Amino acid sequence: MIFDHTGWLVADLAAARRALDALGEFAYSTPCLDARQGVEIVFARDARGMCIELVQPVGPESVVAGLMARHGNGPYHACWQSTDLTADIERLENAGHRLVSEPAPAPAFGGRLFCFLFHRDLGLVELVEAPASAPDQGT
């Protein structure tokens, strides 16, 4: 698996971008609405390729609304690309991770499947199918 990005929960994408810009230069993706999850997503990439996914809940039914209410803005997951999602899920479950969302198409990743797993000693981990060609790390 290849590390892809860190996900940051934010209340306001525009405000988060302004705050991030104070830390360095970033290229931003076009915002992507994931209606199924109730989130709007923007990827920010620096010149070295480091990627941050800014995730804003959209409405009270958002999958991250409760997390935002409890913890506010901040990092909340790390994502890896997987070339064999089924095998990697099984391997991680055998290592103590618990699948918390079944694989589903991700609008932010061009429809590639993604899922979340949780480990009590690590926290929330996202897996996303690697693209057919070279890894794209969130864009």
The 10s digit of each residue's pLDDT in 39-90 is: 999 999 999 999 999 999 999 999 999 999 999 999 999 999 999 999 999 9
Q: What is the CA radius of gyration of the chain?
A: 15
The mean pLDDT value for 21-39 works out to 95
The bridge status of strand 113-119 relative to strand 98-105 is antiparallel
The span from the CA of 95 to the CA of 89, in Å, is 10
Q: Are 17 and 44 in contact (CB under 8 A)?
A: yes
Residue 134's pLDDT is 53
Q: Evaluate if residue 133 carries a pLDDT over 80.
A: no
Among candidates 40, 43, 38, 37, which has minimal Cα distance to 20? 43
Q: Where do the domains of the chain lie?
A: 2-129
Select from 3.40.50.300, 2.40.10.340, 3.10.180.10, 3.40.50.2300 the CATH code of 2-129.
3.10.180.10
The mean pLDDT value for 23-52 works out to 95
Q: Evaluate if residue 135 carries a pLDDT over 60.
A: no
Residue 128's pLDDT is 97
Verdict on whether the full-model pTM lies above 0.85? yes
